[in-house]
């Protein structure tokens, strides 16, 4: 009976050692994930003000572009006068009076 208890005790010690290794491995993995989480939180806190400024600047740019396109007295980016003539003089074709030999 003593041999049976010794055998069971040895088996339980081996299982305990395996479980301790697994717990340590998971603990180190958890520590690594915690470090990554803190880095990500830091990056997020650094990015939030930049995003807020970008959104504010984007809204200001939208306002500027909207005012430029609504003002009929101005020209430039965001404005196109539909009544404005691009060509001021029409193209006129003239019949040639002399034929010139072009290197024949």
Where do the domains of the chain lie? 1-66
For residue 1, what pLDDT band results from cuts at 50, 70 and 90? confident
> How many Å apart are CA 40 and CA 45, to the nearest integer?
9
Q: Give pLDDT tens digits for 64-101.
A: 777 765 555 555 555 555 555 454 556 666 776 765 55
Contact 84, 72 (CB under 8 A): no
């Amino acid at each position: 009976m003593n041999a049976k208890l010794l055998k069971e005790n040895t088996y339980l010690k081996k299982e305990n050692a395996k479980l301790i290794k697994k717990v340590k491995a998971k603990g180190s993995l958890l520590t690594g994930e915690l470090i990554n989480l803190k880095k990500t939180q830091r990056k997020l806190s650094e990015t939030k003000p930049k995003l807020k400024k970008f959104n504010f600047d984007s809204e200001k740019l939208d306002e500027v572009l909207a005012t430029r396109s609504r003002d009929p007295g101005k020209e430039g980016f965001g404005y196109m006068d539909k009544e404005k003539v691009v060509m001021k003089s029409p193209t006129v074709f003239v019949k040639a009076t002399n034929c010139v030999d072009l290197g024949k």
